[in-house]
Amino acid sequence: MRAVCRSGTTVDYVNGGMSTVVFPSFPHLTHTRPLAVWMRRSLTFGNLAILTFLVVQALDGMFTYVGIVSFGPAVEGNPLLSWMIAVIGAAPALAGAKMAASVFGIILHLTAVHRTVALLAALYISAAILPWVELLFWQTAR
């Protein structure tokens, strides 16, 4: 149901059982919607950030596995991950670590901390992916 107040503002009434909820609508503000534009841009950036983060996590897991198979477990620089690899094996340790990192990245994405997700993706690219690409592809080709 829609009603017009004395000031000319339209009000939508939604009957929700025992109570009525009133939502004011402002038709003179519908043409600009700066908040909606900002939200759309933020969601696009956030979706791109989390997609990049998840792809980088998958690439890091694959490159790490190939590096461990090719050069041995001593090639892993993370001491906690090296210990997990020694205890439960390369594949389960890497899968668990990458799943945990992905879940934490998704949690950051869902709480709208998109810049942090993007910075973490950039950090992984520079500190994990590029060194693995250099070690696995450029040094072995020489």
- pTM of the predicted model, to two decimals? 0.69
Q: For 80-120, write each residue's pLDDT tens digit.
A: 999 999 999 999 999 999 999 999 999 999 998 999 999 99
Where are the chain's structural domains? 1-31, 34-141
> What confidence score (pLDDT) does residue 138 get?
83
Following CA atoms 115, 117, 121, 126 in sequence, which dihedral angle do they give, to the nearest 10 degrees? 60
Cα end-to-end span (Å), the chain: 75
